[in-house]
């Protein structure tokens, strides 16, 4: 509960922040909302020499539509995202933001921090995978775009260089016939997921033309399931088809932990996927009808 000493920096611009990271070296950590980092520091599981606070840098906390995408600033807090129009047009974002930790954590936690932390128990990584989002990073050499599929490398490891800052996320705007959902099994509010699934489906003429399903907290990184997706494409998504598709899951090899055995988690993953797909299909149908 008593972190070791560190130096606090509060840069006014992104360039200043990147400069600090380059100058201070690997001991420096970015501070976004602090929802994960501060507890880890208090437990001395992370002992940064320097904290570079992104809180005073302007323009990192906006949500805007550009060019067929929604660009969500990395410093957008979960609570603000939950209240934004994008949480309604992409319902899975709203689903997720209402089950991330609890309201007090959502008031400080940011989407950028959630993603950069690389924790497979966090909810946004699987969602970004299912949305095929692109993550925007800036470093000394300028800006680059990283596909969500390439972002999570391993447990707590992401594709950001030590002197790079995740500045925002580009999420494709929903297309006609699209429905999305995120469903999580958690023992209690704020607990890590037993299993959670993000689903994006697109219906055309009553058939599934696109499907993407990704999972939270069942592997060192978020995992997509092409097997489930393939079992949906081209089919009419009735209850039986969805149930059968969810059973097709083969891509995860969950580890046993204090919450459940691997076998139980596999069963939970299939069940939670089934629910997420069903809800996404329901929403897609409602959207088509309206």
Partner 1 sequence: MGSIGRPMKRVEDRRLVTGRGEYVDDVPAPGALHVAIVRSTYAHARILGIDATAALALPGVVAVVSAADLGAANGPFPHPTWFPPHPPLAKAVDPFTRPERIWLLAAERARFAGEPVAAVVATDRYLAEDAARAVIVDYEPLPVIATAEQALAPDAPLLNPEWGDNIAVHFVIGAGDVDQAFEDADIVVRRTLRHGRAICTPIECRGVVAIPDRRSGDLSVWSSSQQPHWLRDALERTLRMPGDRIRVVAPDVGGGFGLKSMVYPEELLIPRLALHLKRPVKWIETRRENLASATHTRDQVHEIELAVDRDGTIRGLRDRFVIDGGIGSVESIVVPYTTACHLPLAYRIPTMRIECTVAVTNKAPSAAERGAGRPEAAFALESILDEAALALGMDRAAFRLHNALRIDEMPHDHGILYRDGTPLRLDGGDFRGDMSDALARLDYDTWLAEQAAGRTEGRLLGIGLAGYIEGTGVPPFEAANIRLDPSGRVIVSVGPPSQGQGHQTTLAQIASEYLSVPVELIRVIQGDTYAFPSGGGTIASRVIVVVGNAVAAAAIELREKILAAAGDQLEVAPADLEIRDGSVVAKGAPDVSIALTTLAARVTPGIGRMGSAGPGLEARGGFQPPTVTFGTGFHAAIVEVDPDSGLVTILRYVVVHDCGRLINPAIVDGQVIGGLAQGVGNGLFEELIYDEQGQLLTGTFADYLIPRATDLPTPIVIHKETRSERNPLGVKGVGEAGTVPGAALMLGAVRDALGQAGAGLATVPVTPGRIVTAIQAARAAGVPVGHAG
Of the candidate spans 76-84, 157-165, 173-181, 263-271, the one that interacts with partner 1 by CB under 8 A turns out to be: 263-271
Q: In this complex, which beta carbon is closest to partner 1, that of residue 46 or of residue 149?
A: 46
Assess 285 for contact with partner 1 (CB under 8 A): no
CB of 194 to partner 1, least distance (A): 6
Binding pattern to partner 1, positions 185-224, x when CB under 8 A?
x-xxxxxx-xx-----------------------------
Assess 104 for contact with partner 1 (CB under 8 A): no
Assess 255 for contact with partner 1 (CB under 8 A): no
Among 159, 227, 233, 260, binds partner 1 (CB under 8 A): 260
Assess 267 for contact with partner 1 (CB under 8 A): yes
CB of 196 to partner 1, least distance (A): 11
Among 49, 264, 282, 285, binds partner 1 (CB under 8 A): 264
CB of 242 to partner 1, least distance (A): 13
Residues binding partner 1: number (CB under 8 A): 28
Transcribe the chain into DSSP letters.
Answer: --PPP-EEE--SSHHHHHHHHHHHGGGEEEESS-TTHHHHHHTTS---SEEEE-TT-TTSS-EEEETTEEEEETT-BHHHHHHSTHHHHSHHHHHHHTTSS-HHHHTT-BHHHHHHT--TTSSHHHHHHHHT-EEEEEETTEEEEEEHHHHEEETTEES--TT-EEEEEEEEPPPTTEEEEEEEEESSTTSPEEEEEEEEEEEETTEEEEEEEEEESSSSS-EE-HHHHHHHTTS---HHHHHHHHHT--S--PPP-SS--HHHHHHHHHHHHHHHHHHHHHHHHHHHH-
Catalog residues that contact partner 1 under the rule CB under 8 A: 1-5, 43-44, 185, 187-192, 194-195, 258-261, 263-264, 267-268, 271-272, 274-275
């Amino acid at each position: 509960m008593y972190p070791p000493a560190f130096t606090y920096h509060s840069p006014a611009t992104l360039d200043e922040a990147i400069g600090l990271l380059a100058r201070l070296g690997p001991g420096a950590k970015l501070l976004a909302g602090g929802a994960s980092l501060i507890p880890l520091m208090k437990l001395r599981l992370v002992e940064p020499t320097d904290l570079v606070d992104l809180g005073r840098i302007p323009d990192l906390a906006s949500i805007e539509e550009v060019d067929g995408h929604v660009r969500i600033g990395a410093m957008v807090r979960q609570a603000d995202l939950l209240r934004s129009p994008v949480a309604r047009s992409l319902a899975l974002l709203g689903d997720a933001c209402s089950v991330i930790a609890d309201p007090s954590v959502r008031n400080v936690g940011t989407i950028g921090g959630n993603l950069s932390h690389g924790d497979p128990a966090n909810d946004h990584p699987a969602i970004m995978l299912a949305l095929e989002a692109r993550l925007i990073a800036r470093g000394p050499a300028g800006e680059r775009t990283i596909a969500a599929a390439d972002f999570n490398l391993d447990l707590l490891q992401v594709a950001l260089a030590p002197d790079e800052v995740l500045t925002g996320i580009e999420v494709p705007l929903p297309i006609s016939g699209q429905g999305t959902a995120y469903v999580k099994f958690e023992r209690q509010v704020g607990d890590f997921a037993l299993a959670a699934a993000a689903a994006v489906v697109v219906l055309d003429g009553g058939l599934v033309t696109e499907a993407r399903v990704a999972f939270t907290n069942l592997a060192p990184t978020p995992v997509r399931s092409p097997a489930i997706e393939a079992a949906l494409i081209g089919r009419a998504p009735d209850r039986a088809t969805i149930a059968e598709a969810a059973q097709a899951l083969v891509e995860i090899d969950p580890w046993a932990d204090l919450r459940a055995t691997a076998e139980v988690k596999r069963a939970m993953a299939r069940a939670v996927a089934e629910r997420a797909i069903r809800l996404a299909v329901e929403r897609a149908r409602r959207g088509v009808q309206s």
